[in-house]
């Protein structure tokens, strides 16, 4: 039976890391934490639980996750974030896949929550991504924020039953802060002078995002939570393109000086 390394990247996740580790104990032959110098008890909790911890300065999600994969003891990888954990059905699916590894990678649905409610609208579900894979056949790719596992062209990928449960946001403040702050900043940095932005593009991209999330992706059926998420999605689109526009302008102005 192949041995499995579970790799988790962390930064100040003392409230959630124990649950994440506990959810994989039955299938993990190694739990590796790559921590971005947390200032809380994340590192201490992980070490006390028996996990291996490596500290590394954060240089973007793709770079951090690839580093974690490279440091793992085994070639078969399950990659998680600290605020994620396995549903019982997914745990059983991973155990079954581990006992009879028939694909190079396995795609898993992620079920996200807002204020304690699991959200299946707004484009948040099934949010299926490859998270269980043979590192000899795939790796993380993407810009500073939109990272995905890509397998070699001739690789086989199978969908697993069950969900990665992601306690994403407790309230509107967290959601808005992440959307218009961290994600927008990383998007602007990653796309500086690679994407052309105009005022009109910001306008129609923002409206299109709300319509897609609230109407096409049925956010309207999730009541208040669906409305908050749809508005926040649009808000995030507005700020990421606004920040990109301003960054492009500043850089262009400096080049003229």
Q: DSSP letters of 75-109?
A: SEEEEEETTEEE-HHHHHHHHHHHHT--SSEEEEE
Report the pLDDT averaged over residues 233-253: 90
pLDDT band for position 252 (cuts 50, 70, 90): confident
Please give the C-alpha separations between residue 88 and each of 134, 183, 200, in angstroms, as whole numbers.
23, 31, 47
Domain ranges of the chain: 4-168, 171-256
**Other beta carbons within 10 Å of 42:** 24
Average pLDDT, rounded, for the chain:
94
Lookup result for tokens 């500073």 = 144
Residue 188 has what pLDDT?
86
SS3 66: helix
pLDDT at 176 over 90: no
pLDDT digits (tens, 9 = 90+) for 98-148: 999 999 999 999 999 999 999 999 999 999 999 999 999 999 998 666 789
- Rounded to an integer, what distance in angstroms lies between the CA atom of residue 245 and that of residue 194? 11
pLDDT digits (tens, 9 = 90+) for 39-79: 999 999 999 999 999 999 998 889 999 999 999 999 999 99
Comparing C-alpha atoms, which of 179, 237, 169 is closest to residue 203? 237
- Rounded to an integer, what distance in angstroms lies between the CA atom of residue 33 and that of residue 46? 7
End-to-end alpha carbon distance in the chain: 63
SS3 189: helix
Lookup result for tokens 């409206």 = 207
pLDDT digits (tens, 9 = 90+) for 184-225: 888 888 888 888 899 999 999 999 999 999 999 999 999 999
Q: Are 71 and 32 in contact (CB under 8 A)?
A: yes
- Rounded to an integer, what distance in angstroms lies between the CA atom of residue 59 and that of residue 63? 6
**Other beta carbons within 10 Å of 159:** 13
Which residue has better confidence, 79 or 247?
Answer: 79
Q: 30 - beta bridge partners?
A: 5
pLDDT at 256 over 80: no
Q: Are 219 and 191 in contact (CB under 8 A)?
A: no
CA angle (189, 183, 231) in 5-degree steps: 135
Residue 6 has what pLDDT?
98
Q: How is domain 4-168 classified at the CATH fold level? A: Spore Coat Polysaccharide Biosynthesis Protein SpsA; Chain A (3.90.550)
pLDDT digits (tens, 9 = 90+) for 158-167: 999 999 999 9
Comparing C-alpha atoms, which of 81, 256, 76 is closest to residue 166? 81
pLDDT at 254 over 80: no
Residue 257 has what pLDDT?
61
Comparing C-alpha atoms, which of 6, 61, 66, 9 is closest to residue 34? 9
pLDDT at 179 over 70: yes
- Rounded to an integer, what distance in angstroms lies between the CA atom of residue 95 and that of residue 177? 37
pLDDT band for position 241 (cuts 50, 70, 90): very high
pLDDT at 93 over 80: yes
* Dihedral (CA of 143, 144, 145, 150) sign: positive
- Rounded to an integer, what distance in angstroms lies between the CA atom of residue 41 and that of residue 15? 9
pLDDT at 17 over 70: yes
């Amino acid at each position: 039976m192949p041995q499995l390394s579970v790799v988790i990247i962390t930064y100040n996740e003392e409230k959630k890391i124990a649950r994440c580790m506990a959810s994989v104990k039955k299938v993990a032959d190694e739990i590796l934490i790559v921590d971005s110098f947390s200032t809380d008890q994340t590192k201490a909790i992980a070490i006390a639980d028996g996990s291996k911890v490596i500290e590394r300065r954060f240089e973007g999600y793709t770079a951090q996750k690839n580093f974690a994969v490279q440091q793992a003891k085994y070639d078969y990888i399950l990659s998680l974030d600290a605020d994620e954990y396995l549903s019982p059905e997914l745990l059983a699916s991973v155990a079954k896949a581990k006992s009879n590894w028939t694909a190079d990678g396995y795609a898993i649905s992620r079920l996200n929550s807002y204020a304690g409610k699991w959200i299946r609208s707004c484009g948040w579900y099934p949010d299926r991504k490859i998270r269980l894979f043979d590192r000899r056949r795939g790796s993380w790719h993407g810009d500073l924020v939109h990272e995905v596992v890509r397998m070699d062209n001739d690789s086989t990928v199978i969908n697993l039953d069950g969900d990665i449960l992601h306690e994403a946001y407790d309230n509107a403040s967290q959601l808005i802060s992440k959307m218009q702050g961290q994600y927008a900043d990383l998007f602007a940095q990653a796309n500086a002078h690679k994407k052309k932005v105009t005022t009109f593009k910001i306008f129609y991209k923002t409206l299109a995002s709300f319509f897609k999330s609230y109407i096409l992706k049925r956010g309207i059926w999730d009541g208040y939570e669906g409305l908050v998420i749809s508005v926040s999605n649009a808000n995030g689109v507005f700020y990421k393109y606004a920040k990109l526009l301003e960054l492009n302008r500043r850089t262009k102005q400096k080049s003229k000086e």
